[in-house]
């Protein structure tokens, strides 16, 4: 079934001009938002809680803007199945890739924090040549359908990016075979870890929120410089990306500092323009432990508990 979906639908559609695909996006908006109401209540609830000062009409206006972008991003992702590398670079330009170039020159890898904000699929195609000679490694969660995962991974890797399953991250960092590398973590998803002490807790968009601590843990253990990379939509189908330095010396930072910097960068982007963030995601489904609420009354954030002693093997 996955092969039929890919070769009879997604692949042929990808050869259509984006202008035609955007007409499809407008139709999907009518069906998905107006008629079916795909996760509409989740989106509205997330927006109401993130922006309690907004009137209801503004909340619904922003929801409509989000859904228009959401379906645009879907057809853009379909277009990526046949988009050339040159076209992807024209549509997504990193404005300051030179900020990480010294690490590649020194044969050193670094970590880039990203988020579910704007269309990362185009980035996967355009980043390798823009970050050369460093290897680009994107950590991702494999699709449940193995066939679709393999086809999608093959498409993402055709311009040089390495797609690394999150299940193999420990092995990858221990081996360090792709050095120098730019390791990209999309780190704003809702954590599945059941142990609250292993998560980073903070106030995000006005709500107590848990974040994964894995990227910070790897940065400290393997002494990798850390950056935040944003992605802004400039026009329909066109994006720009900018990199911000978090720290060159992760082992010198206080526990939680790196993750908190990421959270604040992301929050700034969302408050600037809420539209491209993934509001359909049930980001706050996790129950907040009472102990976390109590501790956050006396400190700005609660860092995850992990062994801060670097692995010097």
50-93 pLDDT, tens digit each: 999 999 999 999 999 999 999 999 999 999 999 999 999 999 99
Does some domain include residue 98? yes
User: How would residue 194 be classed by pLDDT, with cut points 50, 70 and 90?
Assistant: low
**What's the predicted TM-score (pTM) here?**
0.93
283 assigned to some structural domain? yes
What whole-number distance in Å separates Cα of residue 84 and Cα of residue 73? 17
pLDDT, mean over the chain: 93
The pLDDT tens digits of the residues spanning 212-225 come to: 999 999 999 999 99
**DSSP secondary structure, 219-242, as one string:** HHHTT--EEEEEEEEEETTEEEEE
pLDDT, position 261: 98
Rounded CA-CA distance 6/3 in Å is 5
| Residue 11 located in a structural domain | no
In-domain check, residue 161: yes
- Does residue 214 lie in a domain region? yes
The pLDDT score that the predictor gives to residue 308 is: 54
Question: Considering the domain boundaries, does residue 69 fall inside one?
Answer: no
> What pLDDT is stored for residue 1 in this prediction?
77
Residue whose token pair is 């509001």: 279
* pLDDT tens figures, 119-143: 988 988 999 999 999 999 999 999 8
Query: Domain span at residue 225?
Result: 91-302
**Contact in structure between 201 and 301 (CB atoms under 8 Å):** yes
174: domain CATH number?
Answer: 3.40.1130
Residue 36 resides in a domain? no
Residue 100 has a CB neighbour count (10 Å cut-off) of 22
| Structural domain contains residue 18 | no
Q: How many domains does the chain have?
A: 1
Helix (H, G, I), strand (E, B) or coil at 163: strand
């Amino acid at each position: 079934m996955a092969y039929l979906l890919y070769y009879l639908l997604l692949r042929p559609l990808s050869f259509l001009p984006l202008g035609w695909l955007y007409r499809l996006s407008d139709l999907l908006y009518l069906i998905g938002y107006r008629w079916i109401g795909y996760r509409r209540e989740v989106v509205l609830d997330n927006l109401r809680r993130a922006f309690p000062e907004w009137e209801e009409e503004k909340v619904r206006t922003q929801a409509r803007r989000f859904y228009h972008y959401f379906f645009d991003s879907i057809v853009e992702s379909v277009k990526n199945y046949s988009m050339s590398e040159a076209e992807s670079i024209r549509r997504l330009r990193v404005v300051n890739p030179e900020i990480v170039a010294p690490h590649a020159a020194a044969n050193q890898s670094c970590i880039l924090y990203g988020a579910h904000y704007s269309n990362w699929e185009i980035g996967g195609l355009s980043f390798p040549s823009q970050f050369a000679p460093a290897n680009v490694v994107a950590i991702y969660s494999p699709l449940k359908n193995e066939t679709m995962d393999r086809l999608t991974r093959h498409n993402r890797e055709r311009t040089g990016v390495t797609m690394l399953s999150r299940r193999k991250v420990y092995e990858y960092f221990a081996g360090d075979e792709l050095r120098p590398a730019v390791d990209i973590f999309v780190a704003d998803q809702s954590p599945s870890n059941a142990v609250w002490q292993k998560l980073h807790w903070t106030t995000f968009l006005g709500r107590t929120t848990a974040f994964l601590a894995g990227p910070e843990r790897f940065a400290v253990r393997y002494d990798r410089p850390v950056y935040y990379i944003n992605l802004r939509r400039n026009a329909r189908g066109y994006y720009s990306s900018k990199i911000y330095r978090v720290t060159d010396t992760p082992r010198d930072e206080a526990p939680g500092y790196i993750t908190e910097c990421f959270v604040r960068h992301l929050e700034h982007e969302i408050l600037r323009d809420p539209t491209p963030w993934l509001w359909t995601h049930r980001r706050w489904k996790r129950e907040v432990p009472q102990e976390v609420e109590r501790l956050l009354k006396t400190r700005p954030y609660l860092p995850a508990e992990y062994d801060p002693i670097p692995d010097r093997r």
